[in-house]
Amino acid sequence: MPRGKFTNHKGRNRRFTNPEELEEERRREEQKKKWRHQQGDDTSSSEDEASGDKKISEEESDDSEESSDEGEVKAKGVSNLIEIENPNRVQKKSKKLATLNTEVDSKPQLSRREREEIERQKAQAHYQKLHAEGKTEQARADLARLAIIKQQREEAKKRREAEQKEKEDAAKLKSAQTQKALGRK
């Protein structure tokens, strides 16, 4: 009796086929096919289609090649009723060696996005070059701004030096006055 309230029946009745059984069954089928082939019975092909067996022995494939050379091939299932090709199926196309050589030599075709990306990178590199040379509007504005800043810094430096000089002069004058007041030279 199961311990819990719920029981799970998955996997209880599973039975796996032995590889020996499968091999024996395949051998029996081959013997039947050989016997039918020797007897010249054509019903085996219709039975194989009905059972869904897709394995074809070498003797049967030789027979099917001979029958296809003789006339029209009999279509299996409903394929003779439907004459629509799968639009998603890609068929391999044979290529000539001369066309392959020209394809290898030529540049691969780029997509629109790749072309636009390359063009954008080239334009950006060209702009950076012109900017470095000072030929763009932004570069001119930057250089003018830098000149103004340099001028302001120079003026501030001169002002600080002047103030420093005044402080030193004032300190000397004050020390001279204190020395004079004390009677020292």
Q: Evaluate whether residue 2 is within a structural domain.
A: no
CA-to-CA dists, residue 134 to 8, 127, 128, 129, 159, angstroms: 81, 10, 10, 9, 32
Q: Evaluate whether residue 103 is within a structural domain.
A: no
* Crossing angle of helices 43-51 and 19-39, rounded to 10°: 150
Cα 184–chain centre separation: 92
Q: Evaluate whether residue 89 is within a structural domain.
A: no
pLDDT in tens, the chain (185 residues): 556 677 777 766 667 788 899 999 999 999 999 999 998 865 545 454 444 444 444 444 444 444 444 446 666 777 667 667 777 888 788 877 777 766 555 666 889 999 999 999 999 999 999 988 888 898 999 999 999 999 999 999 999 999 999 999 999 999 999 988 888 76
Distance from C-alpha of 80 to C-alpha of 87, rounded to nearest angstrom: 18
CA-to-CA dists, residue 35 to 21, 44, 47, 180, angstroms: 21, 10, 14, 144
pTM, entire model: 0.32
Distance from C-alpha of 124 to C-alpha of 117, rounded to nearest angstrom: 11
Show which of 31, 47, 62 is a domain's final residue. 62
Q: Which residues constitute the domain of residue 37?
A: 19-62
Tokens of 13: 């009745």
Tokens of 147: 């000149």
40: left (phi over 0), alpha (psi -120 to 50) or beta: left
Q: Evaluate whether residue 71 is within a structural domain.
A: no
**Structural domain count of the chain:** 2
Q: Evaluate whether residue 132 is within a structural domain.
A: yes
Tokens of 98: 């001369």
Which DSSP category does 89 fall into?
P
Q: Evaluate whether residue 28 is within a structural domain.
A: yes
